Structure 1
Amino acid sequence: MLSFSLGNIIFQLVVMILLMIFVTIIGVRPVVSVMEKRKKYINNQIDGAEKNRQDAEAYLAEQKAEVERIREEAHGIIEQAKSQANAEAKSIIEAAKNRSDLLIKDANEEISLEKEKAIAAIRDEVADLSVLLASKVLEKEINPKDYSTEIDQLIKQVGNQR
């Protein structure tokens, strides 16, 4: 049978308490200490990861701003090149127009000179013909019929000389 004695129960209770204190000191404290160190390490890793994420987001925002700045700069360069090309095209067109106007003016002047030369040549020929006609008429008696035939012959002579 089982017998319970108060001294036995107190002894076992004291031994149990001492054993629990011993286990707490020897076994639980190091485990708790290791668990605290592990908790701190994990928290540090989480904090580091969060800082790295924030740094990455800041870097990404910086890169996006840089890309946008470069796009705007490229757009400005393209616009400048377009305006420069338009200005050069206008300049080339204006130069070609001026050149064509000058060529037209020179051609008109040359035509005018040739026209004046032709008129002067015709005047000289008319004067020569008039002198020739007058000399022929003076040689002969003035007769309308003879005068008409004389003019026809003179025109034929001038036509043959050319």
Structure 2
Amino acid sequence: MTRESACEVALCDLKSGPVKRFDVYWRSKWRGDALPRRQDIDPSEILDILPLFILADIEAQPFRVRFRLCGTRVSLLDEELTGRYLDDLKNTPADEKQRIQMMYERVCFDRQPLYMRASNPSQQTGNLLRLEGAIWPLSSDGVRVDKCAAVEDFPDLG
């Protein structure tokens, strides 16, 4: 089964409650003009989202995405990401890795979230699952994006 390329959508076009809730949460963590920091994200405040949550470190030169944390539902339905670099993933085709990297690069450059929709094959059944998700920038100094938070939701599974 092939994976449908992620397409960018507006937040209002997504049905995912967890993506919308995390977006409100992320926006509440801004400090004036400064982007939220990793330490602003308190896991105890987003317990229902944690199984869908991804935290990534961003390396600038060369640009690389290293997944620091991957929620349990993401690892079951997509691929285990924890401790791995995007370009080293085994179950993700090369063209899809390139598209995902371009999304992370855009989030880092624009300093704005990116919302997406795709269909991914389930690791267990191979059936296509509708995925809705987003990537949000995080910054240690409030300016340069050095981490990203993401949520991958499969709303049809409830």
Same fold (TM over 0.5): no
- Greater strand fraction, Structure 1 or Structure 2: 2
Q: Rg larger in 1 or in 2?
A: 1
